[in-house]
Structure 1
């Protein structure tokens, strides 16, 4: 069921005033994303006519913006991406680990997104691979699917990486599959310490190479001595690495991947109210008891838009990456080898891929619930009206 309130509706209603108020601070990327979401599934992008052969209903379907920050455009992309991952699943338990940056490093990440976000993804996977390769813990080459998230429940800046990992890996000579212990993958404390050391070392190296530049409240970090002291303080605190219990089966693995891979800062379904000045949305406070976690937060519309735009990714940045035997350069061959060593001769769910993909390309008739089809009639885009040049001078 479609939500009564949407991010697109908020931007259409309040985006112009937000642009005027923040003209000196809103960059080209933010303006481009706002414009794309505002135009999504409207006459501005054109469309086509769909028809139902059973009841004869016809309706216009306007084109999607396909922007990766648009909440409405992620559903189909998620289905197709998850369907493509079905063939990669192995008949082993899967584990879920989360690597989070502490606040002092997260503020650095916000001003140097491209560099620090890439480090966060790479170091998270490297930490898992290094500990897993140690014979004391597993002694195997593992595969990692890493997904970057930059938001917390209240849309504040909270960079962290979700890693989904098969429970085992290939032996060093790739002749056998080494399984992890039941219900246990790798020790969290060991992961946390190595993650902290590797990340701070890489961050210091990036600063020495001139890849980090700071401004406004963090301008003082451009001084090498100050930056070093800042990192020293971060070494003295515990970094959060969370390892969840293994998934119950392949369906849960796919549900997790679908839930994390194509999410944006807020789903339309979380927005519960909108008026001329405020937006209210549901969020979870994980510091409270489970029965008392869900709350309603009310923000001024401009503050809501500001928080939404905090999570725009740098152009060309890939927030889903694969490492180890799941790396794109050799994934097909390595998965085939893993499947052979595990005694699984054929990939599961081959037909599910085609059917799921097909469902993502069509929708049901709202009257008779039969599939709609494209008629071949296209609707050209309609340009938005230009501001009037008329000026009334009453002087």
Structure 2
């Protein structure tokens, strides 16, 4: 199968000498290039059934690597299953306008952080209003920074239980069947609060501007630039509720650990460039699904647009689902709904049989590690070009 790693290995060394990349982007390239190769070491395995031997090389475990996110998603989902409530769940999306997306690339930590926090504040504020739901809600938000064509398109996907606790926490308030919160009201409040927070960040000197946006460093110019954004429509979308808890998990498995492009979408890599599948959301029906060919350099540039700042969390929980209070709140909600926890924790005398880590592809029997292959190099940024300081 064609992989992003193949493109990086073939064109990365030459391309890196012609462009300026951050240390984080260089580390991502290096990790993807070395993933599941001899450079990271591995294990020599022997099947306990058919006695076949093979080498399994280690993964890079980088969160931007297309090959490493499947197992990470499974582990995360196993931890989330116990958090599901027997209520309807809604999918909401908050998207930044193109103008703000353009300055977000040089201000990722600030603007992505505002996108998370303002989206959560908007949901909780409108939900707490007695004219709408009048309840304390929880939400899980997931950041995506890309469009299907790898363009820069920051937005957050939210998974929200269809209801919340009353102000005193004594009862569960469910939303109307098939309807969570009014989208237009969410959009207007999200727009106002985000622009207020962005103006405050500019006043504090937290934003940086380069190239065609350099003039925005001036406060008056920035205020003038923001003016049209106060009147245009901001995209906030709320889908119909999921069809049961398993549908929620299926959705989460597709979205929580997704990277900018999966290897499965790559179709060809030749003298014309990199060809991949993409979805044109402006079209309808089957015409939505198209193919695109980019030069290898442009493909790599677009892929690396979506490298997140070190330590930046792309999955966050708010309100009733915030990490410090989630367990207690879920227990209270289940008690009010008169339902037992979905999964009881095992008792001390329960013996849990661990599943074998490696399974033989030929006969399905467990494989035994008989030797260790030492790694030859750590995952780090590629070496500087000659003459660089």
TM-score bracket relative to the smaller structure: over 0.9
Secondary structure of residue in 1 paired with 2:322: coil
- Whether 1:254 aligns to 2:249 is yes
Q: Distance in 2 between matches of 1:373 and 1:323?
A: 42
Mark the runs of 5 or more structure 1 residues left unpaired by the alignment. Answer: 352-356, 388-395
Is it true that 1:131 corresponds to 2:129 in the alignment? no
- What aligned pairs does 1:198-209 form with structure 2 within 5 A after superposition? 198-209=193-204
Alignment pair present for 1:46 and 2:33: no
What is the TM-score of this pair, normalised by structure 1? 0.92
- 2:13 paired residue among 6, 11, 16: 16
Is the deviation greater in 215-224 or in 151-160? Answer: 215-224
CA RMSD for the aligned pairs?
1.8
For residue 372 of structure 1, report the CA deviation from its aligned partner.
3.3
C-alpha distance in 1 between matches for 2:299 and 2:89 = 36
Deviation at 1:364, TM superposition (A): 3.5
Partner Cα distance (1:122, 1:376) in 2: 49
1:209-288 equivalent positions in 2, closer than 5 A: 209-288=204-283
CA contact (8 A) 2:81 2:249 kept: yes
Q: Which has the higher helix share?
A: 1
Does 2:9 match 1:6? no
Query: What whole-Å deviation, never above 9, does each CA across 1:162-213 have from its counterpart, x for those lacking one?
Result: 0000000011000111000000000000000000001000000111111111
Instruction: Identify the residue that residue 166 of structure 2 maps to in structure 1.
Output: 171
Matched, 1:65 2:88: no
- 1:184 matched to 2:179: yes
Deviation at 1:282, TM superposition (A): 0.3
Q: Which runs of 5+ in 2 are unaligned?
A: 347-352, 384-389
Cα distance in 2 for residues equivalent to 1:267 and 1:140:
39
Aligned counterpart, 1:107: 102
Aligned 8 A contact 1:362 1:371 in 2: no
2:318 aligns with 323
1:56 Cα shift?
Answer: 1.1
Alignment size in residue pairs: 374
- Please give the per-residue CA displacement for 1:216-265, whole angstroms capped at 9, x wherever unaligned: 12101001001001111111100000101100011110011111110000
Partner of 1:311: 306
The answer (yes or no) to whether the contact 1:146–1:164 under 8 Å persists in 2 is yes
Asked if the contact 1:145/1:165 (under 8 Å) is kept, the reply is yes
Q: Hey, what does 1:295 align to over in structure 2?
A: 290
Aligned pair partner of 2:81 in 86, 96, 107: 86
For the Cα contact (< 8 Å) 2:89–2:162, is it kept in 1?
yes
Is the contact between residue 360 and residue 366 of structure 2 (CA under 8 Å) also seen in structure 1? yes
* Per-residue deviation, residues 62-92 of structure 1 (Å, max 9, x unmatched): 0110100000000100000011000000000
What's the TM-score once normalised by structure 2's chain length?
Answer: 0.93
Deviation at 1:350, TM superposition (A): 6.7
Following the alignment from structure 1 to structure 2, what is the Cα–Cα distance between the partners of residues 256 and 155?
21
Residues 299 and 350 (structure 1 numbering): CA distance in 2 closer, same or farther, change over 3 Å?
Answer: farther
Paired with 2:354 and 2:205, the residues of 1 have a C-alpha distance of 48
